[in-house]
Structure 1
Amino acid sequence: MGCAGGGLMKLLDRPIEVKPSIARSGDDPAHLAAIYDHEVALTLWSRPNPVTVPREDLDGLVGFNVTCSIGEVRHTINIALSGATARSWHVPLLADIVDLSHRFAALMEIDDVSIRLEAISGNACWKFHSDYVRARLLTTYVGPGTEWALQGENGLDDVHRIPTGHVGIFKGREWTPDGLLLHRSPPIAGTGDVRLLLVID
């Protein structure tokens, strides 16, 4: 009995590993820093959508995928947008991309960022997954937002959707190889919906 009891005490004294499976949200952008909490796999900044884009402006929109130093973001995005017909919403879009890029770079302590803006009308990345990056920032300016769910013992738990305009930072597999919080682009093929999605790594 003594040996068994001692073994049990050793097990109880062993630190418990908490898997990152919790999402946290708040209306203060500083709340995004909670991504560094061990048990947190997703932080959400709840905010009004800063960019209003008419649906018809998304038809034929050519997005971009660029990598640059944080100091060159404004210049790089200006060039990327210059190939498209000038729209009034380009001004708040540029301002928001610059702001989110700087916030993400400061939070991740990085000097370079990869920025992707795309209009999606099909079922891109419709399977639940975790990205092979350290962390990824996502926000949807138009259309249904990114969906996420926890991987439970019996499959996925309830599916949640990030509201349009809100900002999410997900831990990737480089940070949490066995992360249980997965996400996907909502399947919209055939619905007539179009999404305008921003991704920052």
Structure 2
Amino acid sequence: MLQVMKTSAELTMPIAESPSVLSEIYRDEHNIAVWERDLPNKLIHSIKHMLIYESNLALVQTVTPSNVDDWIMHKLSNYECAEPLAKDIALIVDMFCCLFDLGAAGLRLTSINEPMCPKFHVDHIPCRLVSTYTGTATEWHGNDGLDRSKLGAGSLGKPDHLSGLYSEQSAINRLSTGDVALLKGSGWEGNESRGLVHRSPQNLNQEPRLLLTLDMV
């Protein structure tokens, strides 16, 4: 059974229902920060309806806070979710660019029907934003009880639960659908050996995911 993040009392990491919590990613001791939120049911249902017809959706673009709204509206113009989804993503892009003093961000909005990165790994970038609009969300493991030598080739081809990477299944954490999270990678200055260890969810419950990621450009 996977542990689900709910309160900061349960885990020593920043999680809150206010987007201001994302600024905590700048603290050296934090390699993840989570804005916990619930999406409107109407938006979730309209996205699920869209994915019936867009099972291979893959929108990739360098966007700015001023143009992302219109770009997504254009790409998804045939669907009811286009306007509310575009406005929500525009808000997140604006926050991301403001937080890191960026003029633009690399956006990916993809429908995923099977684990995209099924094994635990570290991103060799400064920081990535992830948010799952529908379906099961990203899994991650804290630094405690983790043998990083078992990542990648160190696993000797074994699955995560047999490689010796971690000892307790209960130590695996999962974001919730709707959460907006910043994942600090090994490319962040001073975090070269502490990038957040994470993976795609293992159990998709036969439900496609709609995943948003933002990268620095």
Fold match by TM threshold 0.5: yes
- Higher percent of residues as strand: 1
Larger radius of gyration: 1
The partner residue of 1:173 within 186, 192, 204 is 186
Match of 1:31 in 2: 21
CA distance in 2, matches of 1:30, 1:185: 26
Q: What's the offset of the Cα at 1:173?
A: 1.8
171-180 vs 49-58, which moves further? 49-58
Instruction: Report the Cα distance in structure 2 between the residues aligned to 1:134 and 1:53, rounded to whole angstroms.
Output: 34
Give the alignment of 1:107-146 within 5 angstroms.
107-146=99-138
Aligned length: 177
Query: Over residues 96-126 of structure 1, what are the superposed CA-to-partner deviations in whole Å (9 max), with x where a residue is unaligned?
Result: 1000000000001111111111111112111
Residue 199 of structure 1: aligned partner? 213
TM-score of the two chains, using structure 2 as the length reference: 0.74
Any residues of structure 2 matched to 1:62-73 within 5 Å, and which?
Answer: 62-73=57-68
Cα deviation for residue 180 of structure 1 reads 5.0
Structure 1 range deviating more: 96-105 or 173-182: 173-182
SS at match of 1:71: coil
Q: Name the counterpart of 1:155.
A: 165
Distance 2:85 2:173 in 1: 25
% identity of equivalent residues: 30
Structure with the bigger RCO (C-alpha within 8 Å, sep 6+) is: 2
- Whether the 8 Å CA contact 1:149–1:182 is kept in 2: the answer is yes
The RMSD of aligned alpha carbons is 2.0
In structure 2, give the amino acid aligned to 1:59.
Answer: I
| Conserved? CA contact 2:19–2:35, under 8 Å | yes
> By how many angstroms is 1:139 displaced?
0.6
TM-score by length of 1: 0.80
1:75 partnered with 2:70:
yes
